[in-house]
Structure 1
Amino acid sequence: MTDYFEVHERDAAARLGELRLAESVTTPALVDDVDADTPGAAHPLLRDGGSLWGQDQPEPEGDDSAVTVLPYRGLPAGTPDEVADAFAGDYPDVDFPSAAVVSPKNAGQHPADVTVLSGAPGYVGHAQAFVDAVTSVRDVTPTDTALYLPGVATPRNVATLVYAGVDLVDPDRAVIRGTEGRYLTTDEAYFLEDLEELPCACPACQVPREEFDREDCVEHNVNALAAELRRVRRRIRDGRLRDYIEGQARQDNWLTATVRLLDQQYGYVEERTPLIRRAQLSAATEDAIRRVEIQRFAERVTERYVPRFDDRPLVLIPCSARKPYSDSQSHKQYHDAVHWRAHMVSMTSPIGVVPQELELTYPAQHYDSVVTGEWSANEIEFVSTVLERYLADADYPEIIAHVPGGGYRDICERVEASLGLDVTYTVTDHPTTADSLANLAAELEGWDTYRKSTREANTIRAVADYQFGAGAGDELFDDIATQGRYPQLRADSADGEQLAALAQQYGVLSLTLAGARRWVESDVPSKTVEIEPFVPHGSVLAPGITDASDDIRVGDDVVIRGDAAFGVGRAQMSGPEMRDSSRGIAVQMRHVEEQ
């Protein structure tokens, strides 16, 4: 059964959810046995269902006041599969909140509201084993099942546990460390006797240092763990857990390794990462280059985007601190010099390259990076690779690099040599000096200015390629007229019917019903949600979905189809999650019509 857990918000593999018991609990949460006498803020939500039953053992009883851990047989780590299978019990189908204890090898065979990963303490300190265990379990268990790792959480590691996909933890490890005289914080585990003063202001620490004993240390450790979970929940709500993780994981080498290994599990994290976010992306470390949002943008720009101004020169320019770039003083100067006679593409770390038509599209106008004036070797390598992939299939008649020396120039020269290009450099000292801008303008002498309507129509098409797939721009918007002023654009068909509007906040298209019909009637694969025969109003819930495209991500525009209705809306779950879930809002509707 998976009736008592519902996911409300998603931040990559981390989730903000709800255990819908008699008294609901927001996850990720700190939970403990109902009979435990744990100090601090742990929720007493777990009930022991008894030992593994046989013919003479009754099935466990339960109710909605707690999650009953179904009987299981604990076996030593490394027990052969055939032995474990021989001693395994059969989980019953119960009608109360339940938890099934599984290993990575048999996860998914016993649907329950909570999946308990057996042997979890053995994964602490072993990054590869931990990542393999969590990702394999999450991949095969229902989406609306909470993942519980017992006996592992500390204030220092719990944020990374949640980032990997863990929903529930307990205070056991924090309690044990306290009884051993270890004072836990988010960055260290101190020996109590080494502390001259207490670096915490929780209730347990409101006593003189000489009176603070191990019992107080236990209470502090649990308080610190609960406080860190509150911080993590806030970060998930803000869509900024990864920003926090990049700093927090550096407190322990195995946590740093865990984050980097999760970055290598691109499919696992990408499926769970929203296409757009309200929050700004903070690129404070080089780990940001490996973030799904960065890699996905680079992949779509180099594999989906089509340069529609490649009959004009390409002008490579540096990024700006102000977003979108065109609002910055430096880019206004570049625009004045170019005067729509060339195609401008910005170079930036950690994004890579940003064609002018995609400057609004997440994360191009939603990031902030550390500016030192110096490029690292990793930054040069990444941006060079993206620029090389971008230029490999492009056919610009001329390439102009209006960039300063240092990293920008190194990247351009590196790609120039790799592809055998002939690049003209126009900057004498700084890109915005009068001489440099004059050089840029002079290099474009003789080229005609392209029309504003052309630029705006190509912006719509470029965003469509990025958002819906290669070829979508020309297939869906080949005969459009644009209305409004950039960036507040709408695309209309030749007969004046509105097809889409450019959402300025995220730089993606919001389709109308007419645009959605074009999409499903075109050769471009549509992201479709099939529903039961009803007419949705406001939203579509997961139980009403019969099928959904695999490539749907949170934030995608999707087409809703059923025997009774046709509509378009924005996905609140990924496609696999829509098919897999029995609870929750799957699509927020924008337009719908009865069939």
Structure 2
Amino acid sequence: MAEGLGRTVLHRYRFSRIWGLGNRSAPVAQTPCLISSSHDPIELQSIAPFRSSQTRTIPAKLTIDTPHCLTPPDFDVPGPIFEASIGHVLPPSLDEANAGESADSGSVLPLSWQRLHHDPSLLVADLKPHIVVLVDAVQLAAQTGKLVQAISVIKNRFPGSLLWTPGLGGPDNAAVLAWFGVDIFDFSRSGFAVASGHLLTAFGPRAPLDGEDCSPAVAVDHYDQSLRSVRSAISSGTLRTLAEQQSLNSPKLVEHMRFFDKMMKSSDNIMRIHPLGVNRIDYLSTTSHQDSSVEQWVDFISNTYQVPEKLDNVLVLLPCSARKPYRLSKSHRKFIQALGTNACHEVMVTSPLGLVPRDLEDVWPAAFYDIPVTGDWSRDELHRIESMVRNLVERHDYDRIINHSGMVIEIEGFNIIDTRQGESSGSRTALHRLTEAVQTAKEELRIHRRKGERVNLDRFMSISRYLHKSDDWLNDCRVRGKPPRWKIERDGKQIALWSFERAGFSFSKEAVKYLDACSALPRVHLIDDVKWKGDLHYGIVKSFEAGILMGQDLIVMQNDVAIGLARSIAPGWEWPGTPGRLAKMHQRI
């Protein structure tokens, strides 16, 4: 019986992934995909890369196979074939109970809520199943919060596995389940819908129209098109938007999305560096404002962000703009001209991110988001912005606050100067008041314009504190070149280049010793006797630091010596067992 399942990640977005099945150089199928049974229509069996069957014995035995050649290394024989006993499955409400006979642990791993709570064999380090089956997914979906908890535990514990939630998936919830991390879908719900005279579509169940065929073949086509849309959304980085749209098909899906967002707020695996291949993030609904990328940005600005040195004297609050980064917009060119100095700390007021300092306007997500603009602020948006301004002021030593944002902001102990006074931000009189307020502050507080190189260095140090939690590697550096490709030099040697495409730094070999000395980047340790020739994969990695972010630069260590840099293409939760590349070689000393 064949044991291996060839698979590699082709695209990833948060917990969702597109796996290429079979030979990584020429995959024969992709996930999210369908799994068929002998009772399913022939149209589905012809497109499903996996097949399943289950005995009627107690406990039942599950078999999963495939008509394709997915077994490495030769990929010349159909297979693999996996078998596993499902064991005794108790209802999720009996999570304190411990069933008698447990399920098998192997290439196919049947899991239940009860087993996740009681089976210590799941903690064995060498347990690396190819497919995980959440056998009580339907029951978990009916209970508050349990489905997303179970999926999150499974994805973090078995990152290299495909996940199947039997009986739960359908064309109407495929985007939501894929957003959580589900890879394999079955036809159960679509089949039940057809049997009752309905079609299950991407927008929910409906009765067929006059002259429309309500057949298994039509149902399969709806399912196939839904999964194609999901795969497209994963590869383009728009799955969140698609999942939000689809969640409106039922109150329960909205509930699952909200619990998932709450759970992700405390996660360390959200991308803080502009993800490669994703051009923007859309915050199009109030639900998207709860996305963990927003929560982590708000937390950073409120509690960690530090104003560039000697710039916390005059705080100028400005409105945002549709164009990113803001300074390239027509409105902000007017604001910058009206200010007439770079000695003030400019901070943009926006939704849903709250505040975006000028020195961080180039990073993700600040430079890569889009929202609908109505001019109205919700109560939650007002509360978030007021709280962030208050925290920013409390942690710094501003002497004056000039408010050109148009939002009414009050802070105890400050006489905030409103330069808008109900007018538009670009009106001649409002801009004149902004100029006068800044001129008065300059004269009374004796603040002075910074040199251009100082502005750039302050900006890069601020960005480095955000991306790398340290700016020590920039000590004694100079900024040369022309925008947007600024060169960062130390002792006459280039150590980094600002890469506006990825909103991050591109480091040279010369930078490795400085980055290593100040621990600016996470470290990955290779196996001692392996010769590092190319990209990083699980087989050559001995250990790595927690919290690796997608797109993040890493220091590659061997025998406790820094030997180069790599750039992560997979977030940290995937590293303990995901086949394929985890990071690309960037510099090799």
Shorter-normalised TM-score: what interval?
0.7 to 0.9
Code of the aligned partner of 1:386 = M
191, 200, 225: which one aligns with 1:175: 191
The answer as to whether partners of 2:521 and 2:553 remain within 8 angstroms in 1 is no
- Counterpart-to-counterpart distance in 1, 2:10 and 2:111: 25
- Counterpart-to-counterpart distance in 2, 1:358 and 1:168: 40
Find the residue that maps to 1:86 and give its secondary structure. Answer: coil
- Counterpart-to-counterpart distance in 1, 2:47 and 2:167: 13
* Equivalence for 2:87: 73
- Counterpart-to-counterpart distance in 1, 2:535 and 2:27: 26
The answer as to whether partners of 2:53 and 2:64 remain within 8 angstroms in 1 is no
Code of the aligned partner of 2:481 = G
* Equivalence for 1:262: 260
- Give how far 1:27 is off: 0.9
* Equivalence for 1:242: 240
The answer as to whether partners of 2:53 and 2:62 remain within 8 angstroms in 1 is no
If the length of structure 2 is used for normalisation, what is the TM-score? Answer: 0.86
Distance 1:386 1:77, change over 3 A: same
Distance 1:2 1:239, change over 3 A: farther
The answer as to whether partners of 1:52 and 1:73 remain within 8 angstroms in 2 is no
Find the residue that maps to 1:39 and give its secondary structure. Answer: helix
12, 15, 24: which one aligns with 1:13: 15
The answer as to whether partners of 2:61 and 2:85 remain within 8 angstroms in 1 is no
* Equivalence for 1:378: 380
* Equivalence for 2:453: 453
Distance 1:79 1:572, change over 3 A: same
* Equivalence for 1:205: none
- Counterpart-to-counterpart distance in 2, 1:269 and 1:221: 37
35, 39, 54: which one aligns with 1:31: 35
Code of the aligned partner of 1:425 = D
Does 1:443 find its partner at 2:445?
no
Does 1:423 find its partner at 2:416?
yes
- Provide, for residues 202-238 of structure 1, a one-character-per-residue CA deviation record: whole Å limited to 9, x for no partner: xxxxxx34xx35xx1x222222112111100100001
Distance 1:491 1:143, change over 3 A: same
Code of the aligned partner of 1:119 = D
131, 153, 166: which one aligns with 2:148: 131
- Give how far 1:153 is off: 1.4
After TM superposition, list the pairs within 5 Å mapping 1:317-336 onto structure 2. Answer: 317-336=318-337
156, 176, 180: which one aligns with 1:160: 176
* Equivalence for 1:219: 217
Distance 1:433 1:349, change over 3 A: same
The answer as to whether partners of 2:103 and 2:110 remain within 8 angstroms in 1 is no
Code of the aligned partner of 1:437 = L
- Give how far 1:49 is off: 7.5
After TM superposition, list the pairs within 5 Å mapping 1:231-380 onto structure 2. Answer: 231-266=229-264, 270-271=268-269, 273=271, 275-277=273-275, 278-308=278-308, 309-339=310-340, 340-380=342-382
- Counterpart-to-counterpart distance in 2, 1:228 and 1:268: 31
* Equivalence for 1:204: none
- Counterpart-to-counterpart distance in 2, 1:558 and 1:460: 18
- Give how far 1:561 is off: 1.2
Find the residue that maps to 2:370 and give its secondary structure. Answer: strand
* Equivalence for 2:138: 121
- Counterpart-to-counterpart distance in 2, 1:117 and 1:389: 44
* Equivalence for 2:403: 401
Distance 1:126 1:223, change over 3 A: farther
Distance 1:144 1:396, change over 3 A: same
Code of the aligned partner of 2:109 = A
* Equivalence for 2:582: 586
The answer as to whether partners of 1:126 and 1:254 remain within 8 angstroms in 2 is no
- Counterpart-to-counterpart distance in 2, 1:553 and 1:23: 27
Distance 1:251 1:273, change over 3 A: farther
Distance 1:3 1:529, change over 3 A: farther
The answer as to whether partners of 2:133 and 2:163 remain within 8 angstroms in 1 is yes
| Count of aligned pairs between the two proteins | 552
The answer as to whether partners of 1:18 and 1:27 remain within 8 angstroms in 2 is yes
**Unpaired runs of at least 5, structure 2:** 72-78, 117-121
Q: Which stretch has the larger CA shift, 375-384 or 67-76? A: 67-76
- Provide, for residues 19-64 of structure 1, a one-character-per-residue CA deviation record: whole Å limited to 9, x for no partner: 338974211111113685443364152344868899xx99989784
Distance 1:466 1:77, change over 3 A: same
- Counterpart-to-counterpart distance in 1, 2:27 and 2:501: 37
After TM superposition, list the pairs within 5 Å mapping 1:51-70 onto structure 2. Answer: 64=71, 65-70=79-84
* Equivalence for 1:489: 486
23, 40, 45: which one aligns with 2:50: 45
Does 1:478 find its partner at 2:475?
yes
- Counterpart-to-counterpart distance in 2, 1:82 and 1:266: 26
- Counterpart-to-counterpart distance in 1, 2:359 and 2:205: 50
The answer as to whether partners of 1:12 and 1:270 remain within 8 angstroms in 2 is no
- Counterpart-to-counterpart distance in 2, 1:158 and 1:126: 19
Code of the aligned partner of 2:150 = A
Query: Identity across aligned pairs (percent)?
Result: 21
* Equivalence for 1:388: 390
- Counterpart-to-counterpart distance in 2, 1:254 and 1:292: 20
The answer as to whether partners of 1:11 and 1:272 remain within 8 angstroms in 2 is no
The answer as to whether partners of 2:273 and 2:503 remain within 8 angstroms in 1 is no
- Give how far 1:487 is off: 3.3
- Counterpart-to-counterpart distance in 1, 2:93 and 2:250: 30
- Counterpart-to-counterpart distance in 2, 1:535 and 1:53: 51
- Provide, for residues 67-108 of structure 1, a one-character-per-residue CA deviation record: whole Å limited to 9, x for no partner: 4241333435259679754222554x5xxxx42211134343
Code of the aligned partner of 1:528 = R
The answer as to whether partners of 2:273 and 2:502 remain within 8 angstroms in 1 is no
The answer as to whether partners of 1:310 and 1:395 remain within 8 angstroms in 2 is no
- Give how far 1:163 is off: 0.7
Distance 1:329 1:80, change over 3 A: closer
- Give how far 1:390 is off: 2.2
* Equivalence for 1:229: 227
Find the residue that maps to 1:483 and give its secondary structure. Answer: strand
Distance 1:581 1:58, change over 3 A: closer
* Equivalence for 2:514: 518
- Counterpart-to-counterpart distance in 1, 2:257 and 2:63: 39
Find the residue that maps to 2:299 and give its secondary structure. Answer: helix
Find the residue that maps to 1:152 and give its secondary structure. Answer: coil
**Unpaired runs of at least 5, structure 1:** 198-207
Q: Which stretch has the larger CA shift, 341-350 or 506-515? A: 506-515
- Give how far 1:547 is off: 0.9
Does 1:531 find its partner at 2:531?
no
